[in-house]
Every structure is written in structure tokens, then in C-alpha cells.
Amino acid sequence: MYPFRLGIVRERTFPVKAFEYCYIFMYYRSMGYFRLDKYVVDVLLRDLVGHDHSPAAFVVYLLLWRRTFGERRKGVKLSHREISQETGLSKSAVQQALRILHRRVLVRSRRGHQTDTPEHKVERPWSARTTSETAA
């Protein structure tokens, strides 16, 4: 309810109470942030959305990035259903997105056994290439 009222508060179309400003400030302040490599936005966005015609793959990659690097973890256990609920994509779109990300070696997923929830690990192949090029 309050995030939508933020635009109305800025326009000042009605009188706003001080506690609403405080709540909005605390709501957005508690959300936090995470770092993202420039390569992801500058190159990967164009490749996944433009070349592969899969904006869903980019959305899934961002979610997995946030849940791994954003929380300083190596991997995250998420089912296709959980990913679809968090991104708003259909389960089949998530499956197709993960196929594309696996093919491009941007995400590695492994299961303990056939029916286990997969653990997804986000790969950054451009960072390994950059360090090896600078060393040479």
C-alpha cells in the first residue's frame, strides 16, 4: 500500500502526515542493496534479451545473483516453483531460462539426488577471463 503512495506523496496532492514520511523512509531504508558487475548490465543484458530473445533468463540470473552474491553465499537451493513465485514468471519460462543460463555457463545447478531441490551457483566467466588477460 505505502510504496504506491510514495508517488502521491511527492506530488503533494493531499496533506501528508509526518508518520507516513517516516514509515516510507524506514520501509525503503530496510530494503538494502547489492552490488552488480558492470558487465551484467552493459553486456549480458543485451546478449540475453537481444540475442537469445529471453528477458526471463536475465530476470532469473538477477534473482540468483541477488540470492548468492548479494547475500555472500556460494549457492542457493531454489525450486523452479520458488523461482517462478519470486520473479512472477511461469514455471515453464523459468525452466527455459535456466536452460539458456546453463548453456551459456552462467549458472550451474546440481542435485543430491533425482527429486532433490537443485542448488544453483552463479558463475562469472568474464571475471576469470579478465584476471587471466591482465596476468599475461
- In this structure, the answer to whether residues 91 and 28 fall within a common structural domain is no
Grid coordinates given for 81: 516453483
Give the count of domains, the chain. Answer: 2
Predicted confidence at residue 33, as pLDDT, reads 76
Q: What is the edge-to-edge ordering of all strands in the sheet holding 107-110?
A: 76-77, 119-122, 107-110
The parent domain of residue 46 ranges over 38-135
Please tell me the pTM assigned to this model: 0.71
The span from the CA of 67 to the CA of 119, in Å, is 11
Indicate if the alpha-carbon torsion angle 99, 103, 107, 112 is positive or negative. positive
Is the same domain home to 66 and 107? Answer: yes
Q: What is the pLDDT of residue 79?
A: 94
Q: Verify that 58 and 13 share a domain, yes or no.
A: no
Query: Do both 77 and 92 map to the same domain?
Result: yes
59 shares its domain with 121:
yes
CATH number at residue 117: 1.10.10.10
Same-domain check for residues 23 and 48: no
- For residues 26 and 63, membership in a common domain is answered with no
- Together in a domain, 58 and 11: no
What is the mean pLDDT of each successive set of 10 residues along the chain, which is 136 residues long?
47 50 50 81 90 92 92 92 94 96 94 91 81 50
Residue 7: predicted pLDDT:
46
- Let me know whether 72 and 111 are in one domain: yes
Residues 84 and 110 occupy one common structural domain: yes
Residues 119 and 70 in one domain: yes
What does the buried/exposed string (b/e) look like for 94-120 if buried means 16 or more CB atoms within 10 Å of the residue's CB? bebbbebbeebebbeeeeeeeeeebeb
pLDDT number for residue 127 = 82
Q: Is 64 found in the same domain as 126?
A: yes
